Chain A
Amino acid sequence: MATPDDARETPYARAIPRPTAGPLVAAFGVAMLFAGIVTNVGASVVGAVALVFGGVIWFREVMPDEAVEPIEATGGQTVVTPPPLPARDAPSRRLLLPVEIHPYRAGLVGGLAGGAAMAVVAAAWGLVEHGSVWLPINLLAGAVNPGMAAMGEPELAAFDGGWIAIAVGIHAALSIMTGLLFTVALPMMPRRPMLFGVVVAPVILSSLSWSTMGIVNPAMEEFISWPWFVGSQIAFGAVCGAVISRVEKVPTMAALSTSERLGIEQSEVGS
């Protein structure tokens, strides 16, 4: 069967191997050979005989040439023409990335606006429950001053310029960062931005805060009122989401090829 030309051909290109009992008999022999160790020597003897017998059958199948039988064509039915398919309703979706996002500027503005709304709610809480607008501000500053946990309520409710500066800094930074996160996350829920702003984000942020508050800010943990806290998160989400989703989207370069991104090729998108 093997000529120098055929040697390079894929095995079984024109024939398939012939069935043989050799492997079955040989495998039975191996199993019995070992089974003899735990049963009795007779089994091993039977196994050895079967192994040799099966081996000889097997050897004669492959030597000097492999025994094969011809392929019986099944009437050209084997390789199909494709089944009728419903027309594809969209261009093929090999890659799906948000091709338009809100500009980061929107996140900056939205974050600050949301932060302001949040501050209003927090101040209201201070006034209504503790009679001081300074309390929530001082508590926020407690994130950098662990000693604050030991202070009493009168001290915490008093005005202190330094603490206000720190609190405003923390609050602005966190608000801007969250606003930027919003710009990235909102395009993934293109149809209902407010759902994300009012429900999803507040739930995620509140539960994050709830689980870490004791470590991050023990002072606040002591005073915090969770309903008000969640309310302030919702205020943030609603305002921030509303601001961001109003800003016009800009296209990303994600849909462009590498050469287009490098400016080697010009394309419509982004110009």
Chain B
Amino acid sequence: MSDVATAAPLNPASATPENIVEVRNISKFYGSVHALDKINLSFPKGQMTTLLGPSGCGKTTLLKIIAGLLEPSDGEVLINGKVVNGPGPERAFVFQDFALLPWATVLRNVAFGMELAKVPKAEREDKARHYINEVGLSGFEDKYPHELSGGMRQRVGLARAMVVKADVLLMDEPFSAVDEQNRRKFQEDLLHLLAAENKTVIFVTHSIEEAVYVSDQIVLLSPRPGQIHSIIRPEISRDTSPDDIRRDKKYLDAVENIWTDLRKYLD
């Protein structure tokens, strides 16, 4: 099914959208390790922003600070214009290692956020079933995580984050434990799903191709201490099929430019 991915563009041609997340002057030290240095970033509402950079440059650190899971050493995070100091219902996290409850079924895992919020069981399971279906896992509601493949487990993690209706999705290398073929399918499904929901996504990845394929905005970070090297907007039209996108000149140029930028950090 390739028509799944001929999704509407995530960046409608509207004028400058408001910024739902703003990062102001964030620095982070782990003891004497200087991980992030004065990061200033804006994340437009309804768009997908990717954090890309060499290993250890602070991508995960920045994402967890935005999630409220880590305290910055300096600076602040604003959500909808308000400073936040901790996790909140406007943000949901998708974990690199899935972080599913191994003793709970797919259904309970997906509904877990609502279970914590004390939503009545029937109501939360209803909603969970809807998203289990959306991520393509219907029929697996009563399975346990260890009965699923890596790709399926991450679909559970995605459904769990979607179902709590947070405006902002934070994803730390969500596809890194998924094999190449399933990864492409998953990327396409993700774009399709997000287009229908008008989510703002902040996405960490190591893969330049993945970043260009899924993003409206790519933030390139330089090595430690992490600083913003550049911000790239690929401006790729997503009206065509996934294969056409991957042959698009803009797509190929963007991949090439980012590669040229990143390769100098490898020496």
A, B in one complex: no
Interface residues, chain B, with chain A CB atoms under 8 Å away: none
